[in-house]
């Protein structure tokens, strides 16, 4: 479960009851937002999650101040520093993977499509941070976004091509059903096109609410996940209107579910059913 449904910072003990609920609901792990450069807070959270039997993953994003494809070399250097800091935090958390839009910035646009130079800048930045990711034992799962949130990569094929150009095993990609619903013609073909570099999947409904209640082509998606032999993490990502700063970033102006707990429990049951997984035994 991606924890951005609750907050951009879930490192404090006040979120322990939420983690316990998620474990009871059948989740194996949680995606922890990392939008700072803390180390100790994530190390402490690691211990609490381990006590609950939850594995930790991490999620972050690049923006205008640390844009990997900026024309300004100083800004590109800040992207390297920010991603290295994310890797330090993820390692302290015990996360084997950090995902999100890390190859290009979220909600930063040039007014045109991506240039060859911008693609080259992204590849060079990723090649620079890849050895540090190896040192920290954390894989970077890059995310492509829809055209309204990013312009460098908008499809699985676009991002897979960029990942292959980097040519490092710690630089891989993820697939998100929300963005795919907007940009892909066929989810099965989209998943096949990136299968060799795919290490993470976000399950997200077309309106960002409870998976299985909207328009995403779920049967085709689940069938394709099984067909390509994918056996990595599948994480639910959903957003609500509780946090004004996050609602503004995700463009969520109304609540489309009963409660975060309802969404998590119903979503877990739906995804486990769709993937043919047994219900996880409760502790």
Q: Which two tokens stand for residue 56?
A: 């930790």
Neighbours of 137 (CB within 10 A): 13
Nearest-angstrom CA–CA distance, 102 and 40:
23
- The CA R_g of the chain, rounded to the nearest whole Å, is 18
Read off the DSSP letter of residue 20: H
Burial degree of 116 (CB within 10 A; 0-12, 13-18, 19+): exposed
What is the CB neighbour count within 10 angstroms for residue 143? 24
Helices (H), 94-169: 116-136, 156-166
**CA-CA distance, 59 to 34, in Å (whole number)?**
6
Query: Does the annotation count 118 as an active-site position?
Result: no
Is the separation of the CB atoms in 165 and 132 below 8 Å?
no
The question of whether 237 is a catalytic residue gets the answer: yes
Which of 31, 38, 118, 143 is catalytic? The answer is 143
Provide the annotated active-site residues.
143, 237
């Amino acid at each position: 479960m991606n924890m951005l449904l609750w907050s951009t910072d879930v490192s404090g003990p006040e979120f322990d009851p939420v983690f316990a609920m998620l474990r009871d609901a059948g989740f194996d792990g949680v995606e922890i937002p990392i939008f700072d450069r803390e180390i100790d807070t994530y190390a402490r959270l690691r211990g609490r999650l381990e006590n609950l039997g939850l594995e930790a993953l991490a999620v972050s994003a690049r923006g205008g101040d640390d844009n990997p494809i900026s024309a300004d070399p100083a800004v590109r250097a800040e992207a390297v520093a920010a991603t290295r800091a994310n890797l330090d935090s993820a390692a302290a958390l015990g996360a084997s993977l950090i995902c999100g839009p890390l190859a290009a910035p979220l909600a930063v646009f040039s007014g045109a499509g991506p240039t060859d130079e911008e693609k080259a800048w992204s590849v060079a930045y990723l090649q620079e941070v890849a050895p540090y990711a190896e040192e920290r034992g954390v894989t970077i799962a890059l995310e492509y976004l829809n055209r309204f949130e990013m312009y460098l990569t908008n499809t699985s094929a676009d991002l897979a091509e960029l990942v292959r150009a980097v040519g490092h095993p710690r630089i891989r990609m993820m697939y998100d059903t929300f963005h795919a619903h907007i940009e892909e013609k066929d989810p099965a073909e989209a998943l096949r096109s990136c299968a060799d570099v795919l290490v993470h999947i976000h399950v997200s409904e077309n309106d960002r609410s409870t998976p299985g209640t909207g328009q995403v082509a779920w049967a085709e998606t689940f069938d394709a996940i099984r067909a390509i032999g994918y056996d990595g993490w599948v994480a639910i990502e959903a957003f609500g209107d509780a946090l004004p700063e996050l609602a503004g970033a995700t463009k969520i102006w109304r609540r489309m579910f009963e409660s975060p707990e309802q969404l998590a429990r119903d979503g877990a049951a739906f995804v486990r059913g769709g993937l043919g997984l047994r219900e996880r035994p409760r502790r």
